[in-house]
Chains A and B, each alone.
Chain A
Amino acid sequence: MKRRGMELSLADHSAPQIHKIERRLFLKQGLSLGALALLSGCALTDDENVQTVLTGMSRWNDGVQAWLFDPNKLAPEYPESAITKPFPFNAYYGENEIREVDANSYKLELSGLIRDTKPWTLPELYALPQTSQITRHICVEGWSAIGKWGGVRFSTFLEGIGADLGAKYVGFKCADDYYTSIDMATALHPQTLLTFKYADQILPPKYGFPMKLRVPTKLGFKNPKHIMAMFVTNTYPGGYWEDQGYNWFSGS
Chain B
Amino acid sequence: MLSIDSLMATRITRRALVRGAAACAVATAAGLALGFGALAADQPRVAQATKSEPMKMDEPMSGEMKKKAMKKGDVKEAAEKKEREMRDILEKEEKSMPQGAAKK
Expressed in whole angstroms, the minimum distance between the Cβ of B103 and any Cβ of chain A is 6
Give the chain B neighbours of A57 by CB distance below 8 A.
none
Q: How many residues of B contact A (CB 8 A)?
A: 40
Give the chain A neighbours of B44 by CB distance below 8 A.
103, 202
The answer to whether A141 touches B65 (Cβ under 8 A) is: yes
- Binary contact track B58-99/A, C-beta < 8 Å → 1, others 0: 000111111100101001101100110010011101101111
The answer to whether A94 touches B62 (Cβ under 8 A) is: yes
The answer to whether B100 touches A116 (Cβ under 8 A) is: yes
| Residue B37 CB within 8 A of the other chain | no
| Residue B3 CB within 8 A of the other chain | no
| Residue A82 CB within 8 A of the other chain | no
Give the chain B neighbours of A249 by CB distance below 8 A.
none
Size category of the A interface is 35 or more
Give the chain A neighbours of B49 by CB distance below 8 A.
98, 100, 204-206
- Binary contact track A76-95/B, C-beta < 8 Å → 1, others 0: 00000000000000111110
Whose C-beta in chain B lies nearest to the C-beta of A114?
B97
Name the prevailing secondary structure of the A interface residues: loop
The answer to whether A113 touches B97 (Cβ under 8 A) is: yes
The answer to whether B90 touches A231 (Cβ under 8 A) is: yes
| Residue A68 CB within 8 A of the other chain | no
Give the chain B neighbours of A126 by CB distance below 8 A.
none
Give the chain A neighbours of B89 by CB distance below 8 A.
233, 235
Of the candidates B52, B64, B94, B103, the one whose C-beta lies within 8 Å of that of A100 is B52
Give the chain B neighbours of A234 by CB distance below 8 A.
93
The answer to whether A202 touches B45 (Cβ under 8 A) is: yes
**6 A-B pairs with least C-beta separation:** A162-B102, A116-B102, A141-B64, A177-B76, A92-B61, A177-B79
Which residues from chain B sit less than 8 Å from chain A, CB to CB? 44-46, 49-50, 52-56, 61-67, 70, 72, 75-76, 78-79, 82-83, 86, 89-91, 93-94, 96-104
A114-B94, A116-B100 are known; give 10 further A-B pairs, CB within 8 A. Answer: A92-B72, A100-B49, A103-B46, A111-B94, A117-B94, A141-B63, A141-B65, A162-B103, A177-B79, A179-B79
